[in-house]
């Protein structure tokens, strides 16, 4: 097998797995109204399945990541793929709101976490060159979900009820994700076990306990939390904010589409920049621009201005996210990459969970979204300062391997 070629197969598999997994979870916003009309369950009750899903993703990320370090990424992502498909099928048959929340929120959310951290860790291990680009391409695949899976679900539910739609979706998920998961392989450096890793690997003698209590790991987690808290509120509430400014619903929704399209470009651009100038330098600058991008929403009222800010904001926030995995790979041993990236994913998911609630409370209190964006600006500056304080471990010196 030509490893230099097969590594791009890993990237393609990771992007496809992420796209379909995220698409399965984010089918809920598309199916929300059909579910409510058919069952009589409350909008808040059905929507809360997504909140449960985010929390399940957060707390399962580090567990799945650690498991992928122990047994390899393929069994983990294969298990996650099967559970996502099965959970969607079971959720389609739910007869109570609690049953639906547990099957869709808890199981789908926890199983989706089995894809992100293990695949990001796997991809970073396959690449010594073009690492930032490779990770960004996997992330871009995940970002394709709103433009591929969501329209598919909308098309299905236009001619089927929500239960049938979810059952068809579960078959689509199984048909795509299970074969893609079987393509996943351990990075060559780990294929023969830990002994195969050379002494030049980053911090190769570090124990897992030393890693998770290191300032570098804690700063990575805190930075990712504040970074995601920065863009969570603006992502969730900008459509509502635009409507409150007098912009029609369909035009307001298109702002979100502009943000998503710009994000695809941002992932690729930041991957190339990370390879050229270094992941930390690009991340720090990106976080600073993200903070002021969030603040810029305070000053816009017209649709053209919303488009401009959304394009900048989407480009930046989507672009910075894959760089955390690159920074982790540059500083921690490959043998624990799943745990480290799983930890940052956990922090990011918790940060994302703050936006919906914070934005709602702020609007209910002040009848305005201004303080949401000002607060996001403050969070963004915090993320920038934390990233700025990150100090890489001293580089391990390469030593000759005995013959």
* Eight-class DSSP state of 133: H
Neighbours of 144 (CB within 10 A): 18
Note whether 3-186 and 208-389 share their fold: yes
Residues in the chain: 403
Name the nearest CA neighbour of 259 among 314, 299, 318. 314
| Gap between the terminal Cα atoms of the chain | 24
Mean pLDDT of 349-377: 87
Half-sphere exposure of 339 (CA within 13 A, CB side): 18
Widest distance between CA atoms in the chain:
73
- The pLDDT tens digits of the residues spanning 153-172 come to 989 988 999 999 999 999 99
In the prediction, which pLDDT does 33 show? 84
Q: What are phi and psi of 319, to 5 degrees?
A: -70, -35
Q: Degrees (nearest 5) of the Cα angle 281, 284, 286? A: 105
* Eight-class DSSP state of 197: S
The residues, any chain, with a CB within 8 Å of residue 304's CB and separated by 6 or more, are none
Chain mean position to CA 214: 24
The residues, any chain, with a CB within 8 Å of residue 138's CB and separated by 6 or more, are 11, 14, 15, 18, 119, 120, 123, 322
In the prediction, which pLDDT does 253 show? 76
* Eight-class DSSP state of 304: H
Mean pLDDT of 77-94: 97
In the prediction, which pLDDT does 401 show? 42
The residues, any chain, with a CB within 8 Å of residue 83's CB and separated by 6 or more, are 107, 110, 111, 114
Mean pLDDT of 293-312: 96
At 21, is the pLDDT very low, low, confident or very high (cuts 50, 70, 90)?
Answer: very high
**Is residue 67 scored above 50 in pLDDT?**
yes
**Is residue 8 scored above 90 in pLDDT?**
yes
Residue with more model confidence, 64 or 148: 64
In the prediction, which pLDDT does 192 show? 56
**Is residue 257 scored above 90 in pLDDT?**
no
395: left (phi over 0), alpha (psi -120 to 50) or beta: beta
Residue 52 near residue 87, CB atoms below 8 Å:
no
At 32, is the pLDDT very low, low, confident or very high (cuts 50, 70, 90)?
Answer: confident
Q: How far apart are CA 198 and CA 190, in angstroms?
A: 10
Name the nearest CA neighbour of 310 among 265, 280, 353, 347. 265
In the prediction, which pLDDT does 308 show? 97
Say if residue 139 is exposed, middle or buried (CB neighbours under 10 Å; 0-12, 13-18, 19+): buried
**Is residue 356 scored above 60 in pLDDT?**
yes
- The pLDDT tens digits of the residues spanning 196-249 come to 444 445 666 788 899 999 999 999 999 999 999 999 888 878 888 888 899 987
Percent of the chain's residues with pLDDT above 90: 63
Mean pLDDT of 22-43: 88
**Is residue 255 scored above 50 in pLDDT?**
yes
Domain ranges in the chain are 3-186, 208-389
Lowest-confidence region among 311-320, 363-372, 391-400: 391-400
Residue 336 near residue 208, CB atoms below 8 Å:
yes
Please give the CATH number for the structural domain made up of 3-186.
1.20.1250.20
In the prediction, which pLDDT does 386 show? 97
- Please, what is the angle between helix 73-91 and helix 109-126, to 10°? 160
Element spanning 324, H or E: helix 323-331
Average per-residue pLDDT in the chain?
A: 89
The class level of CATH for 208-389 reads: mainly alpha
In the prediction, which pLDDT does 17 show? 96
Q: How far apart are CA 178 and CA 193, in angstroms?
A: 25
Q: What are phi and psi of 124, to 5 degrees?
A: -60, -30
Q: How far apart are CA 51 and CA 58, in angstroms?
A: 11
């Amino acid at each position: 097998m030509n490893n230099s070629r097969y590594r791009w197969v890993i990237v393609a598999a990771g992007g496809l797995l992420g796209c379909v997994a995220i698409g399965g979870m984010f089918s809920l916003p598309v199916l929300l109204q059909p579910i409510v009309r058919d069952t009589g369950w409350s909008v808040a009750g059905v929507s809360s399945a997504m909140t449960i899903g985010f929390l399940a993703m957060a707390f399962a990320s580090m567990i799945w990541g650690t498991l992928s370090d122990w047994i390899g990424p393929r069994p983990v992502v294969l298990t996650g793929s099967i559970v996502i498909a099965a959970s969607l099928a079971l959720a389609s048959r739910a007869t109570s709101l609690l049953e639906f929340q547990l099957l869709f929120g808890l199981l789908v959310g926890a199983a989706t976490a089995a894809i992100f951290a293990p695949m990001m860790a796997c991809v970073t291990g396959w690449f010594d060159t073009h690492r930032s680009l490779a990770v960004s391409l996997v992330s871009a695949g995940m970002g394709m979900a709103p433009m591929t899976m969501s329209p598919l679900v909308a098309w299905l539910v236009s001619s089927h009820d929500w239960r049938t739609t979810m059952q068809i979706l579960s078959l689509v998920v199984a048909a795509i994700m299970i074969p893609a998961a079987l393509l996943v392989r351990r990075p060559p450096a780990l294929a023969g076990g830990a002994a195969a890793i050379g002494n030049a690997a980053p911090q190769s003698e570090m124990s897992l306990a030393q890693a998770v209590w290191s300032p570098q790991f804690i700063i990575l987690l805190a930075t990712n939390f504040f970074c995601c808290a920065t863009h969570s509120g603006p992502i969730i509430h900008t459509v509502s904010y635009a409507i409150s400014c007098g912009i029609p619903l369909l035009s307001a929704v298109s702002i979100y589409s502009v943000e998503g399209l710009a994000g695809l470009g941002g992932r690729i651009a930041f991957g190339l920049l990370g390879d050229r100038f270094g992941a930390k330098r690009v991340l720090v600058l990106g976080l600073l621009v993200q903070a002021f991008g969030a603040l810029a929403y305070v000053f816009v009222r017209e649709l053209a201005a919303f488009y401009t800010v959304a394009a900048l904001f989407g480009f930046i926030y989507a672009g910075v996210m894959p760089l955390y995995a690159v920074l982790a790979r540059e500083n921690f041993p490959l043998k624990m990459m799943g745990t480290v990236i799983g930890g940052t994913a956990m922090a990011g998911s918790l940060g994302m969970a703050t936006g919906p609630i914070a934005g709602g409370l702020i609007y209910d209190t002040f009848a305005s979204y201004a303080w949401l964006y000002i607060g996001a600006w403050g969070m963004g500056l915090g993320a920038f300062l934390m990233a700025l304080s990150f100090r890489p471990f001293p580089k391990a010196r390469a030593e000759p391997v005995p013959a």
